[in-house]
Protein backbone atom coordinates (compact mmCIF):
# COMPACT_ATOMS: atom_id res chain seq x y z
CA UNK A 1 0.00 0.00 0.00
CA UNK A 2 2.99 2.34 0.27
CA UNK A 3 2.82 3.00 -3.49
CA UNK A 4 -0.70 4.44 -3.25
CA UNK A 5 -1.54 7.29 -5.60
CA UNK A 6 -3.53 10.18 -4.15
CA UNK A 7 -7.24 9.33 -4.63
CA UNK A 8 -8.99 11.32 -7.36
CA UNK A 9 -12.58 12.45 -7.64
CA UNK A 10 -14.43 14.90 -5.41
CA UNK A 11 -13.04 15.67 -1.98
CA UNK A 12 -15.55 13.97 0.28
CA UNK A 13 -16.12 14.38 3.99
CA UNK A 14 -14.91 11.36 5.91
CA UNK A 15 -18.49 10.52 6.93
CA UNK A 16 -21.42 10.45 4.49
CA UNK A 17 -25.15 9.83 4.83
CA UNK A 18 -26.54 6.73 3.15
CA UNK A 19 -30.21 7.29 2.33
CA UNK A 20 -31.46 3.72 1.94
CA UNK A 21 -33.18 3.95 5.36
CA UNK A 22 -35.00 7.06 4.10
CA UNK A 23 -36.35 4.82 1.33
CA UNK A 24 -38.10 2.43 3.74
CA UNK A 25 -35.25 -0.02 4.35
CA UNK A 26 -36.48 -2.25 7.21
CA UNK A 27 -39.13 0.23 8.44
CA UNK A 28 -41.12 3.28 7.27
CA UNK A 29 -39.86 6.85 7.63
CA UNK A 30 -42.20 9.77 6.96
CA UNK A 31 -41.31 12.90 4.98
CA UNK A 32 -40.91 15.08 8.05
CA UNK A 33 -38.50 12.69 9.75
CA UNK A 34 -36.52 12.23 6.54
CA UNK A 35 -36.15 15.99 6.11
CA UNK A 36 -35.07 16.43 9.73
CA UNK A 37 -32.52 13.61 9.37
CA UNK A 38 -30.88 15.18 6.34
CA UNK A 39 -30.90 18.64 7.95
CA UNK A 40 -29.22 17.30 11.11
CA UNK A 41 -26.57 15.54 9.03
CA UNK A 42 -25.74 18.70 7.08
CA UNK A 43 -25.55 20.71 10.30
CA UNK A 44 -23.05 18.20 11.64
CA UNK A 45 -20.77 18.39 8.60
CA UNK A 46 -22.04 15.25 6.87
CA UNK A 47 -22.20 17.02 3.52
CA UNK A 48 -22.12 13.91 1.31
CA UNK A 49 -25.49 12.30 0.54
CA UNK A 50 -25.66 9.00 -1.31
CA UNK A 51 -28.92 7.83 -2.84
CA UNK A 52 -30.28 5.61 -5.62
CA UNK A 53 -33.47 4.98 -7.62
CA UNK A 54 -33.81 1.61 -5.89
CA UNK A 55 -34.03 3.16 -2.42
CA UNK A 56 -37.78 3.24 -1.91
CA UNK A 57 -38.50 3.22 -5.66
CA UNK A 58 -37.44 6.84 -6.04
CA UNK A 59 -38.65 8.01 -2.62
CA UNK A 60 -35.15 8.55 -1.19
CA UNK A 61 -34.02 10.54 -4.24
CA UNK A 62 -37.10 12.76 -4.06
CA UNK A 63 -36.47 13.40 -0.37
CA UNK A 64 -32.84 14.32 -1.04
CA UNK A 65 -34.02 16.63 -3.82
CA UNK A 66 -36.40 18.47 -1.50
CA UNK A 67 -33.66 18.87 1.09
CA UNK A 68 -31.28 20.31 -1.50
CA UNK A 69 -33.69 23.14 -2.34
CA UNK A 70 -33.02 24.80 1.02
CA UNK A 71 -29.47 23.54 1.63
CA UNK A 72 -26.41 25.75 1.42
CA UNK A 73 -24.00 25.20 -1.48
CA UNK A 74 -21.38 22.54 -0.99
CA UNK A 75 -23.50 19.40 -0.59
CA UNK A 76 -22.11 16.50 -2.64
CA UNK A 77 -24.70 14.06 -3.99
CA UNK A 78 -24.18 10.66 -5.54
CA UNK A 79 -26.81 8.49 -7.13
CA UNK A 80 -26.77 5.29 -9.15
CA UNK A 81 -27.75 3.91 -12.54
CA UNK A 82 -28.49 0.41 -13.76
CA UNK A 83 -32.05 0.13 -12.45
CA UNK A 84 -34.94 1.70 -14.32
CA UNK A 85 -38.24 2.34 -12.56
CA UNK A 86 -41.27 1.43 -14.67
CA UNK A 87 -45.01 1.20 -14.12
CA UNK A 88 -46.27 -2.40 -13.82
CA UNK A 89 -48.55 -3.58 -16.60
CA UNK A 90 -50.70 -5.92 -14.53
CA UNK A 91 -51.76 -6.52 -10.92
CA UNK A 92 -49.39 -4.91 -8.46
CA UNK A 93 -48.74 -5.40 -4.76
CA UNK A 94 -46.76 -2.47 -3.26
CA UNK A 95 -43.52 -3.56 -1.56
CA UNK A 96 -44.27 -1.23 1.36
CA UNK A 97 -47.25 0.95 2.44
CA UNK A 98 -47.51 4.09 0.32
CA UNK A 99 -44.96 2.89 -2.24
CA UNK A 100 -45.10 4.42 -5.71
CA UNK A 101 -46.73 2.22 -8.34
CA UNK A 102 -43.36 1.28 -9.81
CA UNK A 103 -41.11 -1.70 -10.33
CA UNK A 104 -37.30 -1.66 -10.61
CA UNK A 105 -35.60 -3.62 -13.39
CA UNK A 106 -31.92 -3.89 -14.29
CA UNK A 107 -30.90 -2.09 -17.48
CA UNK A 108 -27.25 -1.38 -18.28
CA UNK A 109 -27.84 -0.48 -21.92
CA UNK A 110 -27.03 3.02 -23.18
CA UNK A 111 -30.73 3.91 -23.25
CA UNK A 112 -31.24 2.41 -19.81
CA UNK A 113 -28.38 4.41 -18.29
CA UNK A 114 -29.62 7.64 -19.87
CA UNK A 115 -33.20 7.05 -18.78
CA UNK A 116 -32.19 6.11 -15.25
CA UNK A 117 -30.08 9.25 -14.87
CA UNK A 118 -32.71 11.50 -16.46
CA UNK A 119 -35.32 10.22 -14.01
CA UNK A 120 -32.91 10.65 -11.08
CA UNK A 121 -32.10 14.24 -12.04
CA UNK A 122 -35.82 15.00 -12.19
CA UNK A 123 -36.40 13.55 -8.71
CA UNK A 124 -33.35 15.37 -7.36
CA UNK A 125 -34.45 18.62 -8.97
CA UNK A 126 -31.11 19.33 -10.64
CA UNK A 127 -29.50 19.24 -14.08
CA UNK A 128 -26.29 17.54 -12.98
CA UNK A 129 -25.03 15.30 -10.20
CA UNK A 130 -21.61 15.08 -8.55
CA UNK A 131 -21.12 11.30 -8.65
CA UNK A 132 -22.89 8.48 -10.49
CA UNK A 133 -22.22 4.82 -9.65
CA UNK A 134 -23.13 1.76 -11.70
CA UNK A 135 -25.34 -0.08 -9.22
CA UNK A 136 -24.80 -3.81 -8.61
CA UNK A 137 -23.85 -4.99 -12.11
CA UNK A 138 -22.97 -8.46 -10.72
CA UNK A 139 -24.71 -10.29 -13.57
CA UNK A 140 -23.98 -7.65 -16.19
CA UNK A 141 -20.19 -7.37 -16.41
CA UNK A 142 -20.07 -7.57 -20.21
CA UNK A 143 -22.71 -4.85 -20.48
CA UNK A 144 -20.60 -2.57 -18.29
CA UNK A 145 -17.71 -2.77 -20.77
CA UNK A 146 -19.94 -2.64 -23.84
CA UNK A 147 -22.47 0.07 -23.00
CA UNK A 148 -22.79 1.27 -19.40
CA UNK A 149 -19.25 2.53 -18.81
CA UNK A 150 -18.88 4.23 -22.24
CA UNK A 151 -22.17 6.03 -21.63
CA UNK A 152 -21.10 7.29 -18.21
CA UNK A 153 -17.66 8.29 -19.48
CA UNK A 154 -19.31 10.41 -22.17
CA UNK A 155 -21.59 12.04 -19.60
CA UNK A 156 -18.52 12.87 -17.52
CA UNK A 157 -16.87 14.48 -20.55
CA UNK A 158 -20.03 16.53 -21.10
CA UNK A 159 -20.00 17.52 -17.39
CA UNK A 160 -23.51 16.19 -16.83
CA UNK A 161 -21.86 14.18 -14.03
CA UNK A 162 -18.76 15.14 -12.10
CA UNK A 163 -17.31 11.72 -11.34
CA UNK A 164 -18.18 8.12 -12.15
CA UNK A 165 -17.73 4.79 -10.44
CA UNK A 166 -19.30 1.51 -9.46
CA UNK A 167 -21.16 0.49 -6.31
CA UNK A 168 -21.24 -3.18 -5.32
CA UNK A 169 -21.39 -5.67 -2.45
CA UNK A 170 -18.34 -7.59 -3.66
CA UNK A 171 -14.70 -6.66 -4.27
CA UNK A 172 -13.52 -8.94 -7.11
CA UNK A 173 -15.55 -7.45 -9.97
CA UNK A 174 -14.92 -3.81 -8.97
CA UNK A 175 -11.19 -4.64 -8.87
CA UNK A 176 -11.42 -5.74 -12.50
CA UNK A 177 -13.27 -2.56 -13.41
CA UNK A 178 -10.63 -0.42 -11.70
CA UNK A 179 -7.88 -2.17 -13.67
CA UNK A 180 -9.64 -1.89 -17.04
CA UNK A 181 -11.65 1.34 -16.86
CA UNK A 182 -11.09 5.01 -16.04
CA UNK A 183 -13.08 5.30 -12.82
CA UNK A 184 -12.99 8.01 -10.17
CA UNK A 185 -14.58 6.18 -7.22
CA UNK A 186 -15.76 2.80 -6.01
CA UNK A 187 -18.54 2.43 -3.47
CA UNK A 188 -17.92 -0.84 -1.65
CA UNK A 189 -20.68 -2.09 0.65
CA UNK A 190 -20.01 -4.52 3.46
CA UNK A 191 -16.71 -5.93 2.22
CA UNK A 192 -14.27 -3.86 4.23
CA UNK A 193 -15.37 -3.91 7.84
CA UNK A 194 -14.25 -5.26 11.19
CA UNK A 195 -15.86 -8.58 10.21
CA UNK A 196 -15.06 -8.77 6.49
CA UNK A 197 -11.62 -7.79 5.20
CA UNK A 198 -11.93 -9.40 1.77
CA UNK A 199 -11.34 -6.17 -0.18
CA UNK A 200 -7.82 -5.89 1.17
CA UNK A 201 -6.64 -8.67 -1.16
CA UNK A 202 -7.88 -7.25 -4.47
CA UNK A 203 -9.90 -4.02 -4.65
CA UNK A 204 -8.05 -1.80 -2.20
CA UNK A 205 -4.57 -2.45 -3.68
CA UNK A 206 -5.94 -1.89 -7.20
CA UNK A 207 -7.51 1.41 -6.17
CA UNK A 208 -4.35 2.52 -4.39
CA UNK A 209 -2.29 1.85 -7.52
CA UNK A 210 -4.69 3.70 -9.81
CA UNK A 211 -5.61 6.60 -7.55
CA UNK A 212 -9.27 5.58 -7.36
CA UNK A 213 -10.97 6.66 -4.15
CA UNK A 214 -12.99 4.10 -2.19
CA UNK A 215 -16.18 4.95 -0.33
CA UNK A 216 -16.99 2.21 2.16
CA UNK A 217 -20.63 1.50 2.99
CA UNK A 218 -22.13 -1.14 5.23
CA UNK A 219 -19.54 -0.56 7.96
CA UNK A 220 -21.97 -1.97 10.55
CA UNK A 221 -22.62 -5.09 8.41
CA UNK A 222 -26.40 -4.58 8.67
CA UNK A 223 -26.26 -3.72 12.37
CA UNK A 224 -24.28 -6.53 13.97
CA UNK A 225 -21.37 -4.16 14.63
CA UNK A 226 -23.66 -1.87 16.61
CA UNK A 227 -25.76 -4.36 18.55
CA UNK A 228 -24.54 -7.98 18.31
CA UNK A 229 -27.64 -9.43 19.93
CA UNK A 230 -29.42 -12.72 19.24
CA UNK A 231 -31.50 -11.20 16.42
CA UNK A 232 -28.65 -9.33 14.75
CA UNK A 233 -28.43 -9.14 10.97
CA UNK A 234 -25.27 -9.64 8.95
CA UNK A 235 -25.24 -8.71 5.24
CA UNK A 236 -29.02 -8.18 5.32
CA UNK A 237 -29.70 -11.70 6.69
CA UNK A 238 -29.83 -13.23 10.18
CA UNK A 239 -26.30 -13.55 11.54
CA UNK A 240 -24.75 -16.99 11.86
CA UNK A 241 -23.37 -18.25 15.18
CA UNK A 242 -19.80 -17.66 13.93
CA UNK A 243 -20.54 -14.10 12.77
CA UNK A 244 -22.21 -13.29 16.06
CA UNK A 245 -19.35 -14.80 18.06
CA UNK A 246 -16.74 -12.71 16.21
CA UNK A 247 -18.83 -9.55 16.65
CA UNK A 248 -19.09 -10.20 20.38
CA UNK A 249 -15.30 -10.58 20.58
CA UNK A 250 -14.86 -7.25 18.80
CA UNK A 251 -17.28 -5.64 21.24
CA UNK A 252 -15.35 -6.97 24.24
CA UNK A 253 -12.08 -5.50 22.91
CA UNK A 254 -13.79 -2.15 22.36
CA UNK A 255 -15.23 -2.20 25.88
CA UNK A 256 -11.81 -2.84 27.41
CA UNK A 257 -10.56 0.34 25.73
CA UNK A 258 -13.62 2.45 26.50
CA UNK A 259 -14.50 2.86 22.81
CA UNK A 260 -18.03 2.41 21.42
CA UNK A 261 -18.19 -0.51 19.02
CA UNK A 262 -19.81 1.74 16.43
CA UNK A 263 -16.82 4.09 16.65
CA UNK A 264 -14.37 1.34 15.80
CA UNK A 265 -16.63 0.11 12.99
CA UNK A 266 -16.88 3.55 11.37
CA UNK A 267 -13.23 4.47 11.81
CA UNK A 268 -11.57 1.19 10.84
CA UNK A 269 -11.91 1.54 7.03
CA UNK A 270 -10.29 4.98 7.08
CA UNK A 271 -6.98 3.37 7.96
CA UNK A 272 -6.53 2.20 4.37
CA UNK A 273 -4.98 4.90 2.15
CA UNK A 274 -7.43 4.27 -0.69
CA UNK A 275 -10.51 4.89 1.50
CA UNK A 276 -11.77 8.47 1.32
CA UNK A 277 -15.11 8.24 3.13
CA UNK A 278 -17.49 5.92 4.96
CA UNK A 279 -21.25 5.93 4.39
CA UNK A 280 -23.65 5.25 7.23
CA UNK A 281 -27.38 4.81 6.75
CA UNK A 282 -29.37 6.90 9.23
CA UNK A 283 -33.12 7.28 9.61
CA UNK A 284 -33.60 9.94 12.33
CA UNK A 285 -31.94 13.05 13.77
CA UNK A 286 -31.23 11.05 16.93
CA UNK A 287 -29.32 8.43 14.92
CA UNK A 288 -27.34 11.19 13.20
CA UNK A 289 -26.43 12.77 16.54
CA UNK A 290 -25.41 9.42 18.02
CA UNK A 291 -23.27 8.49 15.02
CA UNK A 292 -21.58 11.90 14.92
CA UNK A 293 -20.68 11.55 18.59
CA UNK A 294 -19.39 8.02 18.07
CA UNK A 295 -17.47 8.97 14.93
CA UNK A 296 -15.58 11.69 16.78
CA UNK A 297 -14.69 9.52 19.80
CA UNK A 298 -10.90 9.03 20.16
CA UNK A 299 -9.57 5.56 19.41
CA UNK A 300 -6.27 4.51 21.03
CA UNK A 301 -3.73 2.59 18.99
CA UNK A 302 -3.86 -0.16 21.60
CA UNK A 303 -7.38 -1.08 20.49
CA UNK A 304 -6.21 -1.94 16.98
CA UNK A 305 -3.19 -3.75 18.43
CA UNK A 306 -5.42 -5.92 20.61
CA UNK A 307 -7.73 -6.72 17.67
CA UNK A 308 -4.63 -7.97 15.85
CA UNK A 309 -3.44 -9.93 18.87
CA UNK A 310 -6.87 -11.56 19.16
CA UNK A 311 -6.71 -12.64 15.52
CA UNK A 312 -9.62 -10.36 14.61
CA UNK A 313 -7.40 -8.33 12.26
CA UNK A 314 -4.52 -9.60 10.16
CA UNK A 315 -1.09 -8.40 11.32
CA UNK A 316 -0.55 -6.17 8.27
CA UNK A 317 -4.06 -4.63 8.17
CA UNK A 318 -3.72 -0.82 8.02
CA UNK A 319 -5.51 1.01 10.82
CA UNK A 320 -6.23 4.68 11.53
CA UNK A 321 -3.92 6.91 13.51
CA UNK A 322 -4.78 7.91 17.07
CA UNK A 323 -7.26 10.71 17.59
CA UNK A 324 -10.52 11.97 16.14
CA UNK A 325 -11.02 11.93 12.37
CA UNK A 326 -10.78 15.15 10.34
CA UNK A 327 -13.01 16.05 7.45
CA UNK A 328 -16.41 17.18 8.81
CA UNK A 329 -17.28 20.85 8.29
CA UNK A 330 -20.88 22.03 8.64
CA UNK A 331 -22.18 23.08 5.23
CA UNK A 332 -22.23 26.85 4.76
CA UNK A 333 -19.82 27.64 7.63
CA UNK A 334 -16.68 27.78 5.50
CA UNK A 335 -15.77 27.93 1.81
CA UNK A 336 -16.39 24.60 0.13
CA UNK A 337 -14.61 23.73 -3.08
CA UNK A 338 -17.12 22.86 -5.81
CA UNK A 339 -17.40 19.19 -6.68
CA UNK A 340 -17.53 19.94 -10.39
CA UNK A 341 -14.22 21.82 -10.17
CA UNK A 342 -12.60 18.94 -8.32
CA UNK A 343 -13.87 16.39 -10.80
CA UNK A 344 -12.66 18.52 -13.69
CA UNK A 345 -9.22 18.88 -12.15
CA UNK A 346 -9.05 15.14 -11.53
CA UNK A 347 -10.13 14.32 -15.06
CA UNK A 348 -7.42 16.56 -16.50
CA UNK A 349 -4.59 14.53 -15.02
CA UNK A 350 -6.01 11.00 -14.95
CA UNK A 351 -4.22 8.23 -16.75
CA UNK A 352 -5.40 7.27 -20.20
CA UNK A 353 -6.60 3.68 -20.16
CA UNK A 354 -6.84 1.56 -23.28
Q: Are strands 213-217 and 129-135 parallel, antiparallel or unpaired?
A: unpaired
CB neighbours of 123 closer than 8 A, spacing ≥ 6? 53, 58, 61, 62, 65
**What's the pLDDT score for residue 342?**
31
pLDDT of 165 higher than 90: yes
**What's the pLDDT score for residue 268?**
97
Other Cβ atoms within 10 Å of 106 Cβ, number: 17
pLDDT of 21 higher than 80: yes
Residue 330's pLDDT band, with cuts at 50, 70 and 90, is low
CB neighbours of 259 closer than 8 A, spacing ≥ 6? 297, 298, 299, 300, 303
Q: Are strands 213-217 and 233-234 parallel, antiparallel or unpaired?
A: unpaired
**What's the pLDDT score for residue 174?**
98
**What's the pLDDT score for residue 4?**
60
**What's the pLDDT score for residue 340?**
36
End-to-end distance of the chain based on CA atoms, in angstroms?
A: 24
pLDDT average, residue stretch 246-275: 97
* Nearest CA-CA partner of 195 in 265, 258, 278, 272: 265
Most confident of 4-8, 20-24, 323-327: 20-24
Q: Which residues pair with 129 in a beta bridge?
A: 161
**What's the pLDDT score for residue 242?**
96
Separation CA 152–CA 147 (nearest Å): 9
**What's the pLDDT score for residue 25?**
87
Q: Are strands 83-86 and 76-81 parallel, antiparallel or unpaired?
A: unpaired
Length of the chain, please? 354
This prediction has a pTM of: 0.91
DSSP one-letter code for 208? H
Mean predicted lDDT score pLDDT of the chain: 90
**What's the pLDDT score for residue 175?**
98
* Nearest CA-CA partner of 278 in 161, 194, 164: 194
Separation CA 16–CA 270 (nearest Å): 13
Provide the phi-psi class of 174: left if phi over 0, else alpha when psi is between -120 and 50, else beta.
alpha
Residue 98's pLDDT band, with cuts at 50, 70 and 90, is confident
**What's the pLDDT score for residue 343?**
36
pLDDT tens digit string along 209-239?
999 999 999 999 999 999 999 999 999 899 9
Residue 90's pLDDT band, with cuts at 50, 70 and 90, is confident
Provide the phi-psi class of 332: left if phi over 0, else alpha when psi is between -120 and 50, else beta.
left
**What's the pLDDT score for residue 337?**
37
pLDDT of 166 higher than 70: yes
pLDDT of 338 higher than 60: no
Residue 146's pLDDT band, with cuts at 50, 70 and 90, is very high
pLDDT tens digit string along 306-328?
999 999 999 999 999 876 676 78
Q: Are 132 and 124 in contact (CB under 8 A)?
A: no
**What's the pLDDT score for residue 351?**
34
Greater confidence (148 vs 28) lies with 148
What is the CA 305 to chain-centroid distance, rounded? 27
Q: Are 250 and 309 in contact (CB under 8 A)?
A: no
pLDDT tens digit string along 29-82?
999 999 999 999 999 999 999 999 999 999 999 999 999 999 988 999 999 999
| Residues carrying an active site annotation | 55
**What's the pLDDT score for residue 350?**
34
- Which long-range CB contacts under 8 A does 23-32 form with residues at least 24 apart? 23/51, 23/54, 23/55, 23/56, 23/57, 23/59, 23/60, 23/63, 24/56, 24/59, 24/96, 24/99, 25/55, 25/56, 25/281, 27/283, 28/96, 28/97, 28/98, 29/283, 29/284, 31/63, 31/66
Helices 110-124 and 59-70 pack at an angle, to 10 degrees, of 50
Amino acid sequence: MNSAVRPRGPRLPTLGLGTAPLGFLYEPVDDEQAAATIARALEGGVSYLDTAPGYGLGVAEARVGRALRSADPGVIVSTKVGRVLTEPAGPFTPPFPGAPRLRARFDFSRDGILRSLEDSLRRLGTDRVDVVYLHDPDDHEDEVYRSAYPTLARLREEKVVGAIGVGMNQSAMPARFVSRLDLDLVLLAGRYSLLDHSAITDLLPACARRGVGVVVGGVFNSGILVDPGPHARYAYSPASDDELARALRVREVCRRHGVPMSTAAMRFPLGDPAVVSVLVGMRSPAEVAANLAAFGHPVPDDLWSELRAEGLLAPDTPTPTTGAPPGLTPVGQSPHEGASDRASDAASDKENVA
